[in-house]
Structure 1
C-alpha cells in the first residue's frame, strides 16, 4: 500500500486539507479494506473505500450550515459485499449493460458472464466493484487527493488485454462550493472496450425520498431501451417526453407517468445524451434538494449520463443509522460513454464519443475522462 505519511489513524496534509487512512475491515476472502478520508479545513469531507474504489461518504453543509451526508453509505465491508446495486463503486471494465454479454473487437467475439438477465452489467459478476484497489495519497492543486489503481489481467471476465485502471478523487473548496473531482484513466495491452463511472447513490436531503428533488439536464436526446433495458439504437428527442429536463422539473412529477419507457424500467434507468459532446468538461446537470437547500452541479467531458432512480432498491440495504434504503430514496448520476457502444458503432461516431477514447481502447492510447461534483447551498 501507500508509503505516504497518511498511515492508519494518522493524517497528512497542509492548509488546504488533510488525508486520513484507517482500516475498514476485511473482505470474505480476507483482503484488508481501507477507508481514506479527505478533509477540508471547513469540515467538509469525502471518504473513499479501497474495495470497489467506492465513494463511501460525502459530507457538505446544508442551507443552515449543518454538515450531512449526500450519498448513501453502508456500515461495513460485509454490507457492501451483500449489497446488489453497486453502492458508491467505480464500475468496469465496461459500465452499464452489454447486450447478450457479447462484443466483437477486430473480428474476434468475446463473452462476459451474464449477471443481469440476458446481459452483462457493469463488467460482469466479478467487476471492478468487487475488487480491492491499491490506494496512495497524491498531490493536488487545491486540496487533498487519493489515487486508486487496479490491474485487470488479460481474460478477466472475458475481456481481452491486461488493463490498468485508476481513479483519482480530489476534494477542494472555492467560490463555487465544495468540489469532488474524479479523474479516470486506463491503459491496455490489447484492444478492449472500456467505460468507467462512479455509481454513488445521491440524496441531497439525507434519508427519505428524492421525489421532491428538482433536476435540470442539458440533454436534448435520450436512448430508449428494449424489454431487457438495452438501448434500441435510436437517439430520441426528449421534447414531449418525461425525459425532458432541459427546464428544471421535480422528479416525482415524472416518475409515475404512463410512459412505456418508464414502465419498462420501473422508473428512470436511461442514458441521457448530453449536449455539446466533444467540447470538453462542461456543466451538464443541476440537482436541488428542497429540504436541505443543497445544490449539486455535475461537470464532465463524457457524452452520456445514466439517470437511475434506484428502481431495484427493496429495503435490503441498511444505511449507517440502520434505516432501510428503498426505491426512490436515492438516485444515480453516472457520467459515461453511451451504453453498449462497443456493439453500436454509431454511438462512438459523429461526436458522440465526446472526444474520449471511444468504445474501444487500444495499446499505446490512454482512456481519460473527468467528472466533478460541485456542491453548495445557495440559500445559505
Structure 2
C-alpha cells in the first residue's frame, strides 16, 4: 500500500469516528432530556396531568394541562444551584381553591376590554364583565380554567408540550369556534419557547399570552430589586379602571422609562399619576422590536442569584405587572407567602382594549387567516 492509500485510509477512519461521535452526542443529548408524567387529579370530570422535563443543564420545566399552566421553571443560578423562578402551587387542589393566573394560558383575550363589548362589522358583541364593568383575561372561565389536551414531542435537542383546546362559538360571549394550539418547548440552551396558533370559523378577536409570575430569587424576597430593561420608547397610559386612555405617550423623563436596565422599585414610589392610578406598574409598553425575534424585547436580572432572563417576542407589546395585588394572603410552593411585589410579569401581547381603539394593532382574526406568534424566555447568568 502506498503513502497515498495510507492517507486515504486515515482520512476515512477519522471521518467515520467523527460521524460516530456526532451521532453519540445527539443520542446522549436526547437521552439527557428526561420527561416525566404523573396523574395530578381531576376537575370538571376531566383528568389532569403534570408533566416535567429536565434538560442536560438541569433546567426543569413543569406544565399541567389544567389551564395550560407552567407550574415550575427551575434554572441554574451563578453557582449552579437550581432556583424556581415562577410563582405557583404544589397541587391541583391549590390551583382550584386559590384562584389565580399563576403560569396560566390566557385567552381568548389577554388583558382588558372596556365595558365588556366590541364591534365587528355591524354587530356588537357583549362578553363577560368579570373585572368591574370590564372584561379581563378571557372572562369568568377563561383558558386558565380549561382542561387542555396535551401531548409530548421529543427531539434531539428539545422537548415540547403541545396543548390544544377548542373554544366553542359563544364561549364567554366570543364569536366563532376557535381552535387553539400552544406549544411549550424547553431547549438545551436553557430557553423556554411558547408558540401560539389559532384558527376560527367566524371572524373573532384573539390575543393569547402566558401569565407567569417571575421572581428570579425564588420568591424569597421582593422582586422590586430585579433590574428591568424594556425595549420601548412609548407606553399606553391607563385610566382608573386600568383601561388604556387611547394615548400613546413617551416613557422619557418618567418612572415608566426602562430603556436602560433599572431596579424596578427605584422610581415606583414617585408621585406620578400613572403609578398612583394603577396602584403601581400595570402597563402596556409599545415595543421597538417590530416583531423581530432576533431583537431583545426585555431583560430581567436579579443580582443576588445572577440569573438573567431575556425575552424575545413577535408581539407588538408587553404588559409589565409588578404583583401589585399580591397581599400576603396566598401561600404558594415550598410554603412561601406571596407578598406585594413578589413577582414581575412580562406578558407578550397586543394592546389592551385594541378592539375598541382603531389605531391600536388589530386583534381581529378571520376564517381564512391563521393566528401565529412566538415568545421566548432565555435564561443565563452573569
1:35-92 CA-partner distances (Å, limit 9, x unpaired): 1112112221100110110111001100111012000121212211233441100100
- Structure 2 residue ranges without an equivalent (≥5): 1-28
1:271 aligns with 2:284: yes
The separation in 2 between residues aligned to 1:362 and 1:246, in whole angstroms, is 35
In structure 1, what is the equivalent of residue 169 of structure 2? 154
CA distance in 2, matches of 1:323, 1:193: 38
Q: TM-score, normalised by structure 2?
A: 0.90
Which has more helix, going by share of residues?
2
* Structure ID, larger Rg: 2
The RMSD of aligned alpha carbons is 1.4
Q: 2:192 aligns with which of 180, 185, 194?
A: 180
Secondary structure of 2:333's match?
Answer: coil
From 77, 82, 88, the equivalent of 2:92 is 77
When residues 278 and 211 of structure 1 are mapped into structure 2, their CA distance, relative to the original with a 3 A threshold, is closer
- Give the deviation of 1:15 after TM superposition: 3.1
Q: Equivalent residues in 2 for 1:93-104 (5 A)?
A: 93-104=108-119
Counterpart of 2:336 (choices 323, 333, 336) is 323
Distance, in Å, in 1 between the alignment partners of 2:255 and 2:155 is 40
Note if contact 1:79-1:317 (Cα within 8 Å) is conserved in structure 2. no
Rounded Cα–Cα distance in structure 1 between residues aligned with 2:99 and 2:323: 11
Matches within 5 A, 1:136-151: 136-140=151-155, 142-151=157-166
Alignment length (residue pairs) = 353
- Normalised by the size of structure 1, how large is the TM-score? 0.90
Write out per-residue CA displacement over residues 146-174 of structure 1, whole angstroms, 9 at most, x where no aligned residue. 10011000000000000011110111123
Question: Are 2:230 and 1:217 aligned?
Answer: yes
Q: Separation in 2 of the partners of 1:154 and 1:313?
A: 34
* Contact 1:282/1:301 (<8 A) preserved: no
Between 1:144-153 and 1:131-140, the stretch displaced more is 131-140
Task: Specify which of 174, 182, 185 is matched with residue 167 of structure 1.
Answer: 182
Once the 2 structures are TM-superposed, how far is the Cα of residue 326 of structure 1 from its aligned partner? 1.4
Unmatched segments (≥5 aa) in structure 1: 1-12, 349-357
Q: Is the 8 A contact 1:140 1:170 kept in 2?
A: no
| Residues 62, 90 of structure 1: alpha-carbon distance in 2 compared, 3 angstrom cutoff | same
Residues in 2 aligned to 1:227 and 1:343: alpha-carbon distance in whole angstroms: 17
For 2:30, the equivalent position in structure 1 comes to: 14
Shift of 1:265: 1.1
Q: Is the 8 A contact 1:145 1:170 kept in 2?
A: yes
